Amino acid sequence: MNFCTNIGHRYPQMKLALLSSMLLLFLGTHSVAQGLNSNWERDLGRALEQFMDCAKTSADKAACSATVGQAVSTVYKVDDFYSQKLNRYLTPNEISKSIEQNNHWKLLGYAYDQKTLDQAQQHANSHKAVLAVYNTNGSSHVALILPGSLHFSGSWGFNVPNSASFSYVDPDKSYVGKGLSYGFAKTMMKDVVIYSLN
C-alpha cells in the first residue's frame, strides 16, 4: 500500500484534502499562462515590418492576417489563437468567433464607455492580454491593447488605450504604439467590444 492510499484508508478527510491540493496545484500550473514578454516592443516592431512586407508582396492579403494572433503570443505569451488543427494562427474573423466562445476571455464592455477603456489599459498594464474586436456584417478587425498610458482622442472624444493594429484590408493603417481610435473610425466605435483574458 503506497503512502497516499495508506493515508486515504486511515484518514478519509486527509485524502480528500490531499487530492484537492493536488488538483489546485495541477490547475494552477496548467491554466492559461500569460505574462509580458520583456522584449515585446522590439518583437512587435519586427512583426509590423514583416506584416507590411507580406501585405506589399503577397497577392493574397489574407495570408498576412495571422499577424494579429501571433502578436497576442508575442506580447502576452498567449497562444489562444493558434490552431493545432489548421497549423496556423487564426484570422481576425476566426479570432472574433473564437473569443466569444472561449470562457477564458471576459467581456469588459464597449469602446464607447470610458470605464471600459480605462479597464482595458489597466489590464494591459497588469500584463493581461486585452483585445478590441470589431465584427459587423462578416467584416472583422482585431486590435491588441498594449501596456502604456491613455491618450485623449479628438475623433472619439475619449481617453483611449495604447494599441497595435494589423489591417490586411488597408495595410498602411497598421501600427504599433498608437491610440485605439487610430485603428477604428469613429463610426465603428459603437461596434468595438473589448475583451480581457482572465
The predicted-structure confidence for 49-107, as pLDDT tens digits, reads as follows 999 999 989 887 667 888 999 999 999 999 999 999 999 999 999 999 999 898 999 99
Same domain assignment for residues 11 and 83 = no
The predicted-structure confidence for 165-187, as pLDDT tens digits, reads as follows 999 888 999 999 999 999 999 99
Q: State which residues form the domain around 147.
A: 40-197
Same domain assignment for residues 173 and 83 = yes
Please report, for the domain that includes residue 115, its CATH number.
Answer: 3.90.1720.10
Q: Which residue has the higher pLDDT, 20 or 161?
A: 161
pLDDT of amino acid 36: 95
Phi, psi of 138 (to 5 degrees): 80, 0
Same domain assignment for residues 136 and 192 = yes
Q: What percent of the chain has pLDDT over 70?
A: 83
Q: In the chain, how many domains are there? A: 2
| pTM confidence score | 0.82
CA angle 102, 48, 60 (to 5 degrees): 80
